[in-house]
Amino acid sequence: MASFLRKLLLVFLILIILFVLYTWLTLSYSYSTGSRAGFLQKFSKRGWVCKTWEGELVTGSMLGNQEKFPFSVRDEDLAKLISSNIGKRVEIEYDQHVGVPTNCFAETEYYVNKIKAVPDIRDEILQKAQPGN
């Protein structure tokens, strides 16, 4: 009986180690990298047990053909910077991590690693149209 319990414990430990290795691999290596530009529509920290930063970028024109791009953020400093840009036009750079086994790391597979504000062309047009410019 003790031999059976040892074998069962060994199998259980091997499964845990394999799960940890698989999780580490999916978080360490990205499937793709890219960037998207659009309006930062919403951004919040959510979750019951695992709190993660999740956001939504609206891409496309404001008149139609809009696409929502959901993304996640793991860095607290970057999350603060993103929060300060809600409602603005931004460009984000992200890594796509496919197959992460749990949503405790993020709810989406797109992990943002950089953000920069993009000047809104409408603001530039309005400034040029004002008298005295």
* 132 found inside a domain: no
Contact 43, 86 (CB under 8 A): yes
Do 25 and 43 lie in one domain? The reply is no
Do 41 and 65 lie in one domain? The reply is yes
* Predicted confidence (pLDDT) at residue 23 exceeds the cutoff of 80: yes
- The token pair at 51 is 């709190």
Range of the domain at 62: 31-127
Min mean pLDDT across 13-17, 25-29, 62-66, 124-128 is at 124-128
* 133 found inside a domain: no
Do 116 and 88 lie in one domain? The reply is yes
* 23 found inside a domain: yes
Q: What are the backbone dihedrals phi and psi of residue 14, each rounded to the nearest 5 degrees, phi first?
A: -65, -40
- Band (pLDDT 50/70/90 cuts) for residue 59 is confident
pTM across the whole model: 0.79
Provide the domain count of the chain.
Answer: 2
Across residues 6-28, what is the average pLDDT? Answer: 94
Do 109 and 47 lie in one domain? The reply is yes
Contact 53, 43 (CB under 8 A): yes
* Predicted confidence (pLDDT) at residue 21 exceeds the cutoff of 80: yes
Do 14 and 47 lie in one domain? The reply is no
User: Which helix (H) or strand (E) covers residue 56, if one does?
Assistant: strand 52-59
